[in-house]
Amino acid sequence: MSSLSEHLTLLCDATRVRMLRLLEAEELSVGELASVLQLPQSTVSRHVKQLLDAAWLIKRQEGTASVLSAADLPPSPGAGQLWKLVADAEEHQPVFLADLERMASILEQRRMDSRSWFGQVAARWGQVRRELFGDQFILSTLLALLPERLTVADLGCGRGDVTAALAPHVCSVVAVDQHERMLATSRARLAGVDNATVVDADLTRLPLADASVDAALFMLVLHTMDAPESALAEAGRIVRRDGRVVVLDMQQHQRESYRRKMGHAHLGFSRDRVEAMAARAGLVTGTYRRLPADEAAQGPPLFLAVLRPKP
C-alpha cells in the first residue's frame, strides 16, 4: 500500500486505531486484543489482517500462539505523519482510556499466571528446567564469569573435555597427559581450537616455565598417581604467585576393588591428607569443600580443593 489515501481509509476505522494504539504500547495476542476491545475474535482477526497487509503490524510466533505489535516504523513517511495526527486526536478519548485499563488488567493477569506457575513447580523446578533446557547451559554461563586473560594448565587432561569447555572463555589452555590413547583423543577433539595446546608429558616433570600459568587443574587425576605430592609441587612451580592449583577428586573411601579394577593408587583423600600433601608441595589450602553427591552417580563422593602458593 503506497497511496496516502489508502492509509487514510485504513485509519478512518476507530477499531483499527484503537488496536494500533494498544499495540504500540504492548505485544498482545489476538485473543488478548479481543478481550481488551470487547469485540468478537473474528472481528479482531479481520482488522488484524488488514493492518498486517498494510505493514502497520508485525506478527511473530511464540510457541503455538501469534503475538502482535505495532511496526517500528510506519509504512511510509507520509503515513507516519498521518498516524501522529490521528493518534494525538484519539489520545484522551474515554474509549481509549478504558482500553488501557482493560489491557493493564490483562497484563497483571499474565504476571499472576507466571507467579502461580512458578509457585506450582517450585519444588520440582530443577527437573522442569532440565527437561526443557538440559544442564549444559549452566557450565557455559559460569565459565563466562572467568577473566578472559587466564592461562590454564589442564593436568591429566584425558579426552580433553575440560580443555574444550575452558578454551572459549580464557586466553589459553595447556592440556597435559602422557597416555597415548588419551592424547590422540584430546588432539582430535581440540583440532582447530587455536588457544589450546596438547602436550605429552609426565605431570611430575612439566615442560612449562616457572610462574607461566594462572591456574593448574587436576580433575580426578591425583588418585591415579604414586606420588601426588610431586605433581602438586610441579603445579605449584608453574602457577604465578597469585595463581591457584585446583583439585577435584574422590573423598576417602573403602572400595578396595578400585585398586584391582581401575588401577587406583589411592582410595580417595581425606581433608587432612590433602592439606598435608599441599604443605609438602609448598602450597597452602585456601578452600576445601565436600561436594554434594549427584543422585545419578555410583562412585564415591567428591571434594574440591583450591591450593595457593605460599606467600
Query: Is the pLDDT reported for residue 7 higher than 70?
Result: yes
pLDDT for 1 equals 44
CATH topology for the 4-132 domain? Arc Repressor Mutant, subunit A (1.10.10)
Give the residue extent of every domain in the chain.
4-132, 136-309
* pLDDT, tens digit (0-9, with 9 covering 90-100), for 107-126: 877 776 655 555 554 556 66
Q: Which residue type occupies 118?
A: F
Q: For the structural domain made of 136-309, what CATH number should be given?
A: 3.40.50.150
Is residue 49 within 8 A of residue 16, CB to CB? The reply is no
The verdict on pTM exceeding 0.85 is no
What distance lies between CA 214 and its chain's CA centroid? 24
- What span, in angstroms and rounded, lies between the C-alpha atoms of 217 and 245? 6
**Distances 307 to 14, 145, 230, 246 between C-alpha atoms, Å:** 71, 20, 14, 6
Query: Is the pLDDT reported for residue 167 higher than 90?
Result: yes
- Identical topology for domains 4-132 and 136-309: no
**Distances 193 to 151, 165, 187, 215, 216 between C-alpha atoms, Å:** 15, 11, 10, 19, 19
- What span, in angstroms and rounded, lies between the C-alpha atoms of 50 and 1? 11
* Beta strand 213-219 pairing with 302-309: unpaired
Cell of 1: 500500500
